Amino acid sequence: MPLSAPYLNAEIAAQYIVLSSKKRPFTSLTNRFLKQTPLSDVVAGMKLQVSGRLSRRKGAGRKSRITRQKGKLGFASYTSRVDAAKCQFKNRNGKIGVVVWIRSGTKRLVPGHGTEGRMRAYIQSWRDRKVRELEASGQQAQLN
């Protein structure tokens, strides 16, 4: 039974790819999955990695890795929320691993970054200005 939106959760997406791998090859499976995934406010980016002996031939020799990406992930940013999941399964050639990273489209404010950081700087400058005004007038500054 196909899921309506497996791309919203990384763990469900990884299990969905594992279950769908019995029907079609991994290259077309990953390309098709990313093509059907809409990028929106909810999902800003997605990355899939499938590794192992991916050939359908019995006794396939070398291991290989397929990596596909759609959108932006932003691993270097503190404000991006990335959901990651790993799923493994065995076939006749050995173990195959599927890793899925999904970045949420909604931003979260982290202290010291973005709008909150600018607001903190504004409040600090306002406090400093008020303290200087009170000290200049001869009153004791007590601002919390």
Give the pLDDT score at 98. 92
Give the pLDDT score at 1. 39
Question: What percentage of the chain exceeds 70 in pLDDT?
Answer: 70
Give the pLDDT score at 106. 61
Q: How many other C-beta atoms are found inside a 10 Å radius of the C-beta of residue 127?
A: 13
Sole residue written with tokens 């997605």: 46
Could you tell me the pTM of the whole model?
0.63
Residues 6 or more apart from 49 whose CB is under 8 A from it?
Answer: 65, 66, 67, 68, 97, 98, 99, 100
Give the pLDDT score at 108. 44
pLDDT beneath 50: ranges in the chain: 1, 107-113, 115
Give the pLDDT score at 123. 63
CATH number among 3.30.1140.32, 3.80.30.20, 3.40.50.2000, 2.60.40.790, domain 6-104: 3.30.1140.32
Cβ atoms of 17 and 48 closer than 8 Å: yes
Burial class of residue 81 (count of CB atoms within 10 Å of its CB; 0-12, 13-18, 19+) = middle
The full set of domain ranges for the chain reads 6-104, 109-144
